[in-house]
A and B are shown apart, each in its own frame.
Chain A
Amino acid sequence: MSETKTQPSEQSVAFLRWFRSIVLVGIIGWLMLTVYQNATSSEAENPFKLGLDLAGGSHLIYEADVSGVDPLEVPELMAVLRDVIERRVNIFGVSEPIVQVERSSFVTEEPIERLVVELPGVTDVSEAVAEIGRTPLLEFKLYSADLAGQQSALQNLESLTASSSGAVIGDISINGETIDREISEPFEDTGLTGRYLETASLEFAGSGGGQLSNEPLVSVRFTPEGGKLFAEITRANVGEQLGIFLDGDLISAPVINEAITGGTAIISGGFTPDEARELAQNLSFGALPVPIELQSTQTVGASLGAEVLDKGVKAGMLGFGLVMLFMIVWYRLPGLVACIALVSYITMMLALFQLIPVTLTAAGLAGFILSLGMAVDANVLVFERMKEEYRSGSSSREGAQTGFKRAWSAIRDGNITSLLSATILFWFGTSMVKGFALVFGMGILVSMFSALFITRTLLITLPEARKSDGSVLARLLGSGLNK
């Protein structure tokens, strides 16, 4: 009894091998089914995520101007910006839009904050761009006597030059400092902007208090932080003019009569009721905390995307078929095992694409097809070592075991360098390159797993033979063009 335990009989070892192989193939089959269901069913929890170049849609990159903001506050501001734009895009009714903040990496001299907006299915960007761009930028600025002085001086100069024909103003400097000729309004930033806004609503002025009765007004309520800032500004500048700017235009400049601590402000600017209502809506849906500018646009027609996807899938199938054909013709029975390993490689990769999820693009698809050819490399390495052992007289199973042992260091070193490259790529890459690096790195790990675990399990389950047997089985276990 105890002897059989320490040295299991040949039969039970064989049974165990078959059992493991069948369980493994069963798991792969189940995974395949899950992937298939996820890909085809419309209510699947984890469907494939198609990139815009395959699904059709628009990809917009905005650059945020954060030059006037404390660097420490930038991440928070960008998050606010993202939320605001997200709300905007959601109103637009796009299914699954993506709005994300991206920071240029350290290779650029100054970090640039970007906002990436992806709109699947939207191929007419004009509307989307208008929608995103329409969001008003609300700013509160203080009247500055210095700037006003410069401006009036400028105006005087300009009227002078206009009267004397031919004279053109070059640079103007005051006290040695060249001044900005583009001063549109003599106001200075206070730091109080739409980002501190909580809500905005339409109101009508009461009939009393000497005000024009029933004038439409927009009342804005600040966040607690904004309210505090507003109180400080008003307290420190009683008697001064506070300019309210919308998208850079001065809409009103009331004089501060007293410190306002209630956290609300009233904007009046001779609005019609409709204008006031629209402004209030736009403001509460989101005033931009920082100005943004469209930097890059990319649009792919939906039919074009579908075509690219269809072609990619066809190419993948042909590639897969050809690789399998080659492996079976050259390596025979072990080649068939490699094909099962390749099928499981594809299944596992597709499952990961669905689960993580990885956004599939035309480039990603091409990379994946390329990897079909490279994924069998570890199998090829092992089979070649196995062949050497087999030809020099070992049994096929011993040959397989030695083959794995010998091929390991090559597989390890080759894959580690590739993995390191993928990591660096992921680190430096722009979003498109990042996706490629991710697929590349995953492919390395999964192909190693499929070769070292699945191929191995199946290969040692195969019936044993020796080359000297000369049987059909012995030939099937050989490889190459000879018998």
Chain B
Amino acid sequence: MFAINNKKIFLIIAAVIMTSSVVIIGALGLNLGIDFTGGSLTEVAYQTAPAKDKVESAVSQHDLGGVSVRESLDESGDAAYIIRTRDLSESERIELSESVTALGEGGEITRFTSIGPVIGQELRDKAGWAIFGIVSIIILYVAFAFAGIGTPVSSWMYGAVTIFVLIHDVLVPTALMSILGYAAGIEVDVLFVMALLAVLGYSVNDTIVVFDRVRENLQKNRTEHRKKRKEVGIVHEDVTYTLTKPYDEIVGSAVSGTLSRSINTSITTLVALTALYLLGGAVTQTFALILFAGVLAGTYSSICIASPLVVTYAQYLERKQGNK
């Protein structure tokens, strides 16, 4: 019940979170990686690493346009540099790798990726289409699955709220990514898109569990009225419902009823993500971090945003009817 009783506070907090996320993303932007922009990434590891400016000057000898060199560690903990350039032709790649591996003892190219701009653009388009497709299908399914929910809020509203909550849950990790990109130079890659999609799935699932309980409680606490009427010789039966308890109380008990499930599932998921973050290696560390933020946001929103929002909407409907 606390979520419903304090709904104003929670919704204000949600508004603050969402606005600040949008501001952060807008101000800092996203540090798009070569998966999206095209370009190449060369990771060179050394046993004894040369100074960064040495690597930089070696790279700048080649005419490769804008170049950035970032210090890093490879998977076995050796010192490494990540060199980002535009996408390289085969001969440019060979020249570059020869000149940088010669700089320090045991120099070795441990990773090389080059992506043409067309593939990057295509990935961007595809990601956009996939998200659009998923969002539409979720609205349709929720509206359909909750079609019997009836009074006082229509099933479409539940679908719309699910999507609103989803936007919240995706904005938070995206803002985190924006900060990580700004502060630590971490780039948005395909893994980030996957993390967001996983957050999306988690968020919807979490919200649906709460709404499912709302649906069940509504069905338990209502009386049915059937009224027959004749129209052009055909008998229609109108079924209307009146709730035996106030709507906000019903929704509140649904939130309480699903609270420990929401928290426990997020604990098991967060625990698995923590293991991934701690032991999973550099490749998936950002993935784990982004998902961690997303799952936290998803848990908060399914408890403190989704239900308060439908109750607020129901009260708005009531006021509107009262005014008539």
The chain A residues found within 8 Å of chain B, CB to CB, are: 53, 61, 63, 104-105, 107-108, 112, 125-126, 129, 133, 294-301, 303-304, 307-308, 311-312, 314-316, 318-320, 322-323, 326-327, 330, 362-363, 365-367, 369-370, 372-374, 376-377, 380-381, 384, 388, 406, 409-410, 413-418, 420-422, 424-425, 427-430, 432-433, 436, 440, 480
Q: Could you tell me if A312 and B281 are in contact, using CB atoms closer than 8 angstroms? A: yes
Kindly list chain A residues whose C-beta atoms are within 8 Å of the C-beta of B142.
413, 417
In the assembled complex, the Cα of A126 lies from the Cα of B190 at a distance in Å of 26
Contact with B205, one of A105, A377, A424, A428 (Cβ below 8 angstroms): A377
Kindly list chain B residues whose C-beta atoms are within 8 Å of the C-beta of A297.
40, 90, 93, 112-114
Kindly list chain A residues whose C-beta atoms are within 8 Å of the C-beta of B205.
377, 414-415, 417-418
Kindly list chain A residues whose C-beta atoms are within 8 Å of the C-beta of B94.
126
Q: Could you tell me if A420 and B137 are in contact, using CB atoms closer than 8 angstroms? A: yes
Kindly list chain B residues whose C-beta atoms are within 8 Å of the C-beta of A376.
265, 268
Contact with A296, one of B115, B202, B278, B284 (Cβ below 8 angstroms): B115
Kindly list chain A residues whose C-beta atoms are within 8 Å of the C-beta of B272.
319-320, 322-323, 369-370, 372-374
Kindly list chain A residues whose C-beta atoms are within 8 Å of the C-beta of B276.
315, 319, 366, 369-370
Q: A311-B75, A414-B208, A425-B197 are in contact. Are A370 and B273 (CB under 8 A)?
A: yes
Kindly list chain A residues whose C-beta atoms are within 8 Å of the C-beta of B281.
307-308, 311-312, 315, 362
**Smallest CB gap from A130: residue in B:** B90
Kindly list chain A residues whose C-beta atoms are within 8 Å of the C-beta of B215.
409
**Smallest CB gap from B117: residue in A:** A295
B187 contacts the other chain (Cβ, under 8 Å)? no
Contact with B280, one of A129, A366, A433 (Cβ below 8 angstroms): A366
In the assembled complex, the Cα of A389 lies from the Cα of B133 at a distance in Å of 40
Q: Which of B145-191 contact A (CB under 8 A)?
A: 145, 190-191
Beyond A108-B122, A418-B204, 17 additional pairs, beta carbon < 8 A: A296-B87, A298-B114, A301-B111, A303-B110, A308-B283, A311-B281, A316-B275, A318-B275, A322-B272, A330-B264, A377-B205, A384-B260, A409-B215, A410-B213, A420-B138, A421-B200, A436-B197
Q: Could you tell me if B90 and A373 are in contact, using CB atoms closer than 8 angstroms? A: no
Kindly list chain B residues whose C-beta atoms are within 8 Å of the C-beta of A409.
212, 215-216
Kindly list chain B residues whose C-beta atoms are within 8 Å of the C-beta of A362.
281, 283-284
Contact with A315, one of B129, B209, B257, B280 (Cβ below 8 angstroms): B280
Distance from A134 Cβ to chain B, minimum over Cβ atoms (Å):
12
Kindly list chain B residues whose C-beta atoms are within 8 Å of the C-beta of A367.
194, 198
In the assembled complex, the Cα of A413 lies from the Cα of B268 at a distance in Å of 21
Kindly list chain B residues whose C-beta atoms are within 8 Å of the C-beta of A427.
130, 133
Kindly list chain B residues whose C-beta atoms are within 8 Å of the C-beta of A414.
204-205, 208-209, 212
Q: Could you tell me if B114 and A296 are in contact, using CB atoms closer than 8 angstroms? A: yes
